[in-house]
């Protein structure tokens, strides 16, 4: 993992779950709820990492959602916007994205400027490149302690996998 990953949980957690996700992907939306449940159950034993993999060919709003998330993340509010985006997947139009940024305390001018910045685009491209290099070609794609997990990401099987680590 790079030093710029979005991480919840301590570096000393025995289990790291990494997700390559797309904010418009309905399966990622389902996985979001499951990950929240696992975080609640496992507490400090679980470290969660999120990386962007916007699949623009099937999810036209995903690239802008990722750009807004990263623009807000520059201001230390990534997880707040991440959660809002998944909780509001039905409305990822550009005006709604700016509204979500404002709800977490980032003003319109800043988010619009930064969402199109080279730094934000590079950040997302680095995530996409990492996904491709690791064999992730769909969303959600998970890695557990650095090993790709191809099993079911439903609550029971994923919980069982994380418990074995």
DSSP string, 6-27: EEES-TT-SEEEEEEE-TT-HH
Tokens 């997990």 belong to which residue?
A: 149
Sheet holding 6-8, edge to edge: 6-8, 46-52, 15-21, 141-144, 147-149
Give the residue among 93, 69, 96 at the shortest CA–CA distance from 83: 69
Contact by Cβ (8 Å): 77, 106? yes
Question: Helices marked H in 43-93 — which ranges?
Answer: 62-73, 78-87
pLDDT at residue 3, rounded to an integer: 53
Domain boundaries, the chain: 7-164
- At the fourth CATH level, the homologous superfamily of domain 7-164 is Glutaredoxin (3.40.30.10)
pLDDT of residue 1: 41
Give the per-residue pLDDT at 80.
Answer: 98
| Per-residue pLDDT tens listing for the chain (165 residues) | 445 899 999 999 999 999 999 999 999 999 999 999 999 999 999 999 999 999 999 999 999 999 999 999 999 999 999 999 999 999 999 999 999 999 999 999 999 999 999 999 999 999 999 999 999 989 999 999 999 999 999 999 999 999 987
3-state secondary structure of 49: strand
CA distance 22 to 11: 24
Q: How far apart are CA 123 and CA 138, in angstroms?
A: 19
């Amino acid at each position: 993992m790079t030093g710029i990953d979005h991480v919840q949980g301590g570096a000393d957690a025995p289990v790291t779950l990494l997700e390559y996700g797309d904010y418009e992907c309905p399966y990622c939306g389902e996985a979001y709820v499951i990950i929240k449940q696992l975080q609640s159950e496992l507490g400090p034993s679980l470290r969660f990492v999120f990386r962007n993999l916007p699949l623009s060919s099937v999810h036209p709003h995903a690239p802008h959602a990722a750009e807004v998330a990263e623009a807000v993340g520059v201001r230390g509010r990534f997880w707040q916007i991440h959660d809002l985006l998944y909780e509001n997947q039905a409305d990822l139009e550009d005006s709604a994205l700016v509204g979500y940024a404002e709800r977490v305390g980032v003003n319109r001018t800043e988010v619009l400027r930064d969402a199109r910045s080279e730094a934000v685009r590079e950040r997302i491209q680095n995530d996409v490149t990492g996904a491709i290099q690791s064999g992730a070609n769909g969303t959600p794609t998970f890695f557990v302690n650095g090993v790709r997990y191809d099993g079911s990401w439903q609550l029971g099987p994923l919980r069982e996998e994380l418990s074995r680590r």
